[in-house]
Structure 1
Amino acid sequence: MKSLSFHTLPAASQGKLTEDATTNKNVQNFVTCVYQAKVSGLCRNVTVTWLKNLMSHTLNVFVENPCGEDHYTFKIDLKTWQFWGKKGLKSFKVDGKLVDVFWDFRTAKLSSSPEPCSDYYVAIVSDEEVVLLLGDQKNEAFKRTKSRPSLVDSVLLHKKESVFGKKYFCSRTRLGHGRREHDILIETSLSGPSDPEMWISVDGVLLIRVGNLHWRFRGNESVSVENQPVQIFWDVHDWLYSDPNSGQGIFVFKHGESEDNGGGEGRSLCDEDCGDNKEFCHLLYAWKVE
């Protein structure tokens, strides 16, 4: 397969793209991950959403109660001007049992994405076990919480996010085996003398080339990542036929073989409410800005 080098925008340019896009009230810069973790003795879905706009930057966590209507939520402000506020602890009760949330963003490296790049942790502790751990400072998290790793590993069920760009859209997600994340690059050429085209690469290797997007603005193909089948679905109708700064492309990266070779919209292919018998999928909203 053809190797394709990654194009990385300067941080200032990425921030400007995000700022321009978020002037549209319908656009939110977000990353949402749905995990399954053992909290207060039950396996529950824990939804983690990073949100960022011109005024705020927050982490929102939603813990479901599979046995009733009561749910549990809390929010962490990452944009606080107080340095001490970037490290904290919150406690709440789930089914009458205490759950602690520890975090430290004091040295976190940030980009245009609402999710920090590195040097941070968020640890959810239940029954003296770290049941969900976010970030790369794992040793620091275990030392501070004084808790052991959970006997039941948390599982990432779904990921959904928005990205912004003119020609290039970058993301990271888990594909194939294991927990390793892969770099995804979507490159477009929508104007010029030739027909509009799109290229999708994983870890710098070109996997899909879609020509004549006027006719193939929706579709799907099966590729192999780490010798495992991965389905990639796309719907870029709005890139071609919507007003500038209002069109989004929809992409789904999903484990397993396709059951529908006719393509379709990503909204129905990555359902956050499906159970743990479903394969992981990543839903990506790619906002094209001028």
Structure 2
Amino acid sequence: MVFSSSYYLPMLSFDLRIPGKISRGFFSKMRNIATCYSEHAIKVSDSYCSGPSNNQVYLSPNLNPSIQNAVVCIYRVKLSSSKQFLITLTWCNLTDQGFTISIIHDQPSPAQLKPKCWQLIKSKGTKRFESCNSKIDIAWDISSANYDSSPEPVKGFYIAVLVDSEISLLLGDMEEDVHLKKLMCNFPAAKFSLISRSEHFSGGAVYSTKARFCDSGVCHDILVKCMTEARGPRYSALSVWIDKKNVVQVKRLQWNFRGNQTIFLDGLVVDMMWDVHDWFFNPKFGYAVFMFRPRSGLDSRLWLEEKKLEQTEQEKVGFSLLICACKDPD
């Protein structure tokens, strides 16, 4: 669908040392964020992608880009047997360009709330184990991978995960690799999709990434900029740019530290939510959260309670992008 150590994120209680913890708590945490935006929450006027246009420079030279420390991707897999799993991949720049993987049932039982996770540091290899009463095989090669500014490779690699002899996850661009071609020829492919991506940044005030919010959509450039004027933090401002168009502007960010705004992309209604409370009122940690989430179907609510959804509706729930940002102290 979309592109695909130890960091403590106090706002959401994420622990990147335990990827399974993220996968099992992700949706509940996202709902918790959404509940902040009640009728009493601060809301900014509606925005459109063709919306506020001005001559402001897209990326001011005096704003320092941040460093991406970790990327966590959660994939939903559906086997031919109708079994569904969540596969979590964690890329962190403290693991020598390796990655960590965990696999749990899509709706884990209380006995499965502590899934195992495997840290794969070798640049190339295979691994076999059992999880969720299923046989898991992993083959990977990141020995020649190319990286940009992220711990996640962008090309020159592959990762293949087989669950019960079905290719449940296949990432990368090395289709001509002999071992990978053998796997693709000998095993059927299951359905999988990326349902969430969380990125952790530190330093600077500019957070840049890419995302595709539906299979038929295009990959969008997303830029979040936070600016503080010389007059002080009470004059801080937040702006969000998508494909070099300014779609969100929030002035006096110290007062409007929490809110949401509607963006229209690829025929979808996308809710952009932010929470920068800790930047101003918990500076010891200073983490902020920015989330992009398409609404499901024609529903007008900010967040769908997944426990009330039919199974067919659950499968329609799309991709979510979460940006966790630690800003440099003023």
Common fold: TM-score over 0.5: yes
- Hey, what does 1:264 align to over in structure 2? none
How far apart are 1:146 and its partner, in Å? Answer: 4.1
- Hey, what does 1:223 align to over in structure 2? 263
Contact 1:161 1:283 in 2 (8 A): yes
- Hey, what does 1:24 align to over in structure 2? none
Contact 2:214 2:318 in 1 (8 A): no
- Hey, what does 1:237 align to over in structure 2? 277
Contact 1:129 1:148 in 2 (8 A): no
Partners of 1:179 and 1:104 in 2: CA distance? 29
Contact 1:234 1:251 in 2 (8 A): yes
Partners of 2:142 and 2:61 in 1: CA distance? 25
Among 70, 92, 103, the residue aligned to 2:140:
103
Contact 1:7 1:168 in 2 (8 A): no
Among 198, 220, 223, the residue aligned to 2:238:
198
- Hey, what does 1:265 align to over in structure 2? none
RMSD: 3.5
**Partner amino acid for 1:145?**
L
Structure-1-length-normalised TM-score? 0.74
Bigger mean CA deviation after superposition, 177-186 or 250-259: 177-186
- Hey, what does 2:326 align to over in structure 1? 287
Among 252, 264, 282, the residue aligned to 1:212:
252
Contact 2:87 2:103 in 1 (8 A): yes
How far apart are 1:113 and its partner, in Å? Answer: 2.3
Contact 1:40 1:126 in 2 (8 A): no
Contact 2:201 2:324 in 1 (8 A): yes
- Hey, what does 2:291 align to over in structure 1? 252
Among 152, 160, 178, the residue aligned to 1:115:
152
Contact 1:103 1:122 in 2 (8 A): yes
Contact 1:128 1:148 in 2 (8 A): no
Contact 1:40 1:95 in 2 (8 A): no
Specify the SS of the correspondent of 1:207.
strand
Partners of 1:289 and 1:259 in 2: CA distance? 35
Q: Which runs of 5+ in 2 are unaligned?
A: 1-49
1:145-176, Cα deviation, whole Å (9 max, x unpaired): 24467554202222222122422111222224
- Hey, what does 1:153 align to over in structure 2? 191
Partners of 1:165 and 1:51 in 2: CA distance? 16
- Hey, what does 2:202 align to over in structure 1? 164
How far apart are 1:136 and its partner, in Å? Answer: 3.2
Q: Which runs of 5+ in 1 are unaligned?
A: 19-27, 78-84, 261-267
Specify the SS of the correspondent of 2:146.
coil
How far apart are 1:76 and its partner, in Å? Answer: 0.8
Partners of 2:152 and 2:142 in 1: CA distance? 11
Q: Which has the higher contact order (CA 8 A, sep 6+)?
A: 2
How far apart are 1:223 and its partner, in Å? Answer: 0.6
Contact 2:210 2:220 in 1 (8 A): yes
Task: Count how many residue pairs are aligned between Structure 1 and Structure 2.
Answer: 258
